[in-house]
Amino acid sequence: MRLEGKVALITGAATGVLGSTMGFGGASAWLFAREGAKVVLADINDGLGEQTAGQMRDDGFDATYLHLDVTREQDWADAFQATVAAYGKLDVLVNNAGTSARTTVDETTEEIWDAQMDVHAKGVFLGTKHAIPFMRKVGGGSIIIVSSMYGIVGSPTVTAYHAAKGASRLFAKAAAMQYAKENIRVNSVHPGYADTPLTEQYFSDPERRRWLIGRTPVGRLGKAEDIANGILYLASDESQWVTGSELVIDGGVTAQ
């Protein structure tokens, strides 16, 4: 019970339906609940989110679903108020919501650029900003930002995604320095190529899949659970001396 007594809000957590491919947020929600946390799942996919939370409750866990568009400040304020009204406090925030856009620099429109920045940079900023006052009230907390290995290194495409994930990576370090003395820890997680609902269609092409596995020294693509285990560590008190760090979970891709 590594999170016993803790209350966690996880964005992008709708994709946790049992029997389907899970996303990082959905897998984290199940893992957090099994480790004793009360979990608030937040997303814009209300149907899937309610289904996931319902399955968790059916299994005896304390889980709630909330609609949350991470690009809207009022949604964040409302989500934290609802979390504290239901559970009395906030200990952990997982900024996981994400999208993708596979375009090179010259193919990237202003709309694509803004959309990526809104979700991955602005959304992370708003969530962190509104979580801090609630974490102060309980003497600290853990904020985990799900960036990407593509927030560290480049690739032949996803230009705006790179820029936005790189922004969230450095934002985590800035926030970590600003709130360390208040026992509010901020760290980033950097997944590599992993099977999720977001990558399912793109990774299903056999030739592309072989290329991705060939680039991964461990010899397989990641699973949502691989990333969720790292998120769990950063949420738990086991990482109480860890802040401003980057946890790369990529099967060795960026070690090359």
Question: Which residues does the annotation mark as catalytic?
Answer: 161
In sequence order, what DSSP letters do the residues of the chain get, joined into one string?
A: -TTTT-EEEEES-----TTS---HHHHHHHHHHHTT-EEEEEES-HHHHHHHHHHHHHTT--EEEEE--TT-HHHHHHHHHHHHHHHS---EEEE---------TTT--HHHHHHHHIIIIIHHHHHHHHHHHHHHHTT-EEEEEE--GGGTS--SS-HHHHHHHHHHHHHHHHHHHHHGGGTEEEEEEEE-SEE-TTTHHHHTSHHHHHHHHHT-TTSS-EEHHHHHHHHHHHHSGGGTT--S-EEEESTTGGG-
Residue in the structure block whose two tokens are 């299903």: 204
Structure tokens that stand for 148 in this block: 């990407």
Q: 153 - beta bridge partners?
A: none
